Chain A
Amino acid sequence: MSGEAVKDIVAQAAQWRERRDGSDWSQTDQAELDTWLSESIGHRVEYWRIDAAWVRADRLGALKSPTPQRATNAWRPAAFKGIAALIAAAIIALAWTGTFEPPREKTYSTPVGGREILTLADGSQIELNTDTTIRTRVADGQRTVFLDKGEAFFKIKHDAAHPFMVTAAGHRVVDLGTKFVIRNSDDRLEVSLIEGSARFEPLHETAKQRAIVLTPGETVIATAGTIVKQKKTEQMLAEELGWRRGIIVLHRTSLAEAVTEFNRYNIKKLVIATPSLNRVRVGGTFPIEDVEAFTRVAKQVFGLKVREKGDEIEISR
């Protein structure tokens, strides 16, 4: 940084700008301003910024009352309020979403590291996480989605006459007015309910397995032969849904799990070369596609070695 305090540069820039507006602004004044501007790029950026804001403020002229009543000093705030109300009334919240009507069955997928939001014709939204494939059948009152692999967050417009169904790994989630997330990985299916209610049921009901009605905060984990129901706090769910905001949240997570999580999103895979490191606990919030932010912490905080080897990044002690 230069020796000048930023505060002073900003103040000077504003003083110059104010001076320039005067009717007595002369060529000499302009030359002086030019000199000041040429002294440093720091002067220029602050002057440009102040000038741009001041020019933008010309729009405030739109607030000028056509017949200003200058009798009292109090008219202005009142006029502002009235106009503010008009503006507020005029603002129509505009949800800019691409609504479309898919044909009978349509497949959508995201690559590793990808994330997409689908808006169905009925207004329901499906947010796909990394490496995910879904098929939708939304037509003639039927609303069925197949989550073939990966993870998706569902925000469903409830319609009692046309239940929304998601089928994944031999199970079905039937929405009863809901937000939920489903993750279908190789060996397990996990469904967490965020809001509303939903029913989790096997595709083909057997004597052993019956439907489970989920309430907010509940998670069902189905693996080959077992189904476990868990309760999760709001915070846990929010952290697990960090991907929707592009982040990974780790809380005393083992390095092995952290690495698995990062590898879901990145082509360049992290590998732990020293087995004893698997159990090291790590914490923090990281950008999802920025493995470097994570390896930097591994290096700087844990003093680990990080080495790039082709398509892999090796972490060792």
Chain B
Amino acid sequence: MSETPDQGRERGTENLHGAAMTAPEVEAWFVREVLPLEAALMQFLRRSRRNASDADDLRHDVYVRVCEAAQKEIPRATKPFVFSIARNLVIDRARHDQVVPIEAIADLEELNIATDTPSPDRSIAAREELRTLQSALDRLPPRCREAVVMRKIEGLSRREIATRMGIAEITVRRHISDGMAALADAVYGEPPPSVKTP
């Protein structure tokens, strides 16, 4: 029969079960298994809420609840766990606003299927990664991008960047921290740039 995609279970998670988790363990799991789900999660949250800014708040709440649970025990299947928490939050909010989130619940299922598709091989994945980063970088505001490029690609110090851009060091720092937040949104929260298929 056709391939049954693996549910995204990472090997090595198994032996972590049972004991209370340390922060580095939770962090490692969170970065490896939860953050890659963010694009699908954001899509789900955005569609299920009228107010787009709600989605960022909900994302935060989902992560908080997910990691609270993970501190006690790392969930066995990350994706269903994350999305059931997201769904419950959306339903709670909807109930509060007296809206029945039919489409929201349906979207969740659609997304599950979309995110279950097997991932391409590693070399493709590496190029994909570069494309994602590149397009994230392209979307930064120009001054912010300039500062991030000098810092990250050219490896210049804050002072050198400040001199080159003709601005105060404190402004360079603001550009870079703004850039970090925007990059995180772009790298995790946005769907990857589309690749043409034949």
Instruction: Give me the interface of A with B, judged by CB distance under 8 Å.
Output: 1, 6-7, 9-11, 13-15, 17-19, 21-23, 41-42, 44-46, 48-50, 52-54, 56-64, 68, 73, 76, 80, 83-84, 87, 90-96, 98, 108, 116-119, 245-247, 284-290, 293, 296-297, 300-301
Contacts and interface: CB of A to CB of B under 8 A. Distances in A.
Contacts of A42: 60, 64
A46 to B, nearest CB: 7
Contacts of B177: 11, 14-15, 17-18
A41 B27 CA distance: 11
A76 B198 CA distance: 31
A52 B64 contact: no
Nearest to B91: A296
Interface in B72-127: 100, 102-103, 105-106, 108-110, 112-113, 118, 120-121, 124, 127
Contacts of A286: 102, 105-106
A285 B103 contact: yes
Nearest to B98: A300
A46 B60 contact: yes
B1 to A, nearest CB: 6
A302 B69 CA distance: 35
Contacts of B181: 10-11, 13-14, 50
A297 B187 contact: no
Nearest to B150: A76
Contact of A247 (B61, B110, B128, B178): B110
Contacts of A14: 177-178, 180-181, 184
Contacts of B196: 93
Given A42-B64, A91-B195, A93-B195, A60 B134 contact: yes
B131 interface: yes
Contacts of B134: 60, 63, 80, 83-84, 87
Nearest to B117: A96
Interface string B166-198: 000000010011101101100110000001111
A59 B130 contact: yes
Nearest to A6: B60
Given A60-B152, A63-B134, A93-B196, A45 B180 contact: no
Contacts of B112: 246
B152 A95 contact: no
B120 A94 contact: yes
Contacts of B37: none
A45 B67 contact: yes
15 contacts: A1-B61, A6-B59, A14-B184, A15-B173, A42-B60, A52-B184, A62-B130, A64-B154, A76-B149, A87-B130, A91-B127, A92-B124, A94-B124, A95-B197, A290-B109
A245 B110 CA distance: 6
Contacts of A300: 100
Contact of B100 (A15, A116, A117, A297): A297
A84 B188 CA distance: 20
Interface of B: 1-3, 23, 27, 30-31, 35, 56-57, 59-61, 63-64, 67-68, 71, 100, 102-103, 105-106, 108-110, 112-113, 118, 120-121, 124, 127-131, 133-134, 136-138, 146, 148-149, 151-155, 157-158, 173, 176-178, 180-181, 183-184, 187-188, 195-198
Contact of B106 (A44, A90, A247): A247
A239 to B, nearest CB: 12
A68 B120 CA distance: 33
Given A56-B133, A96-B118, 20 more contacts: A1-B60, A17-B177, A18-B180, A48-B30, A50-B180, A52-B184, A54-B183, A57-B133, A57-B137, A57-B183, A63-B130, A80-B138, A87-B130, A91-B127, A91-B128, A246-B109, A247-B106, A285-B103, A287-B105, A293-B105
Contact of B157 (A23, A53, A91, A95): A23
Pick from B60, B63, B137 the residue with the most CB of A within 10 Å.
Answer: B60
Contacts of A21: 151
Contacts of B127: 87, 90-91
A245 B178 CA distance: 38
Pick from A48, A59, A90 the residue with the most CB of B within 10 Å.
Answer: A48
Contact of A61 (B31, B68, B152): B152
A116 B118 CA distance: 14
Contacts of A60: 130, 133-134, 137, 149, 152-153
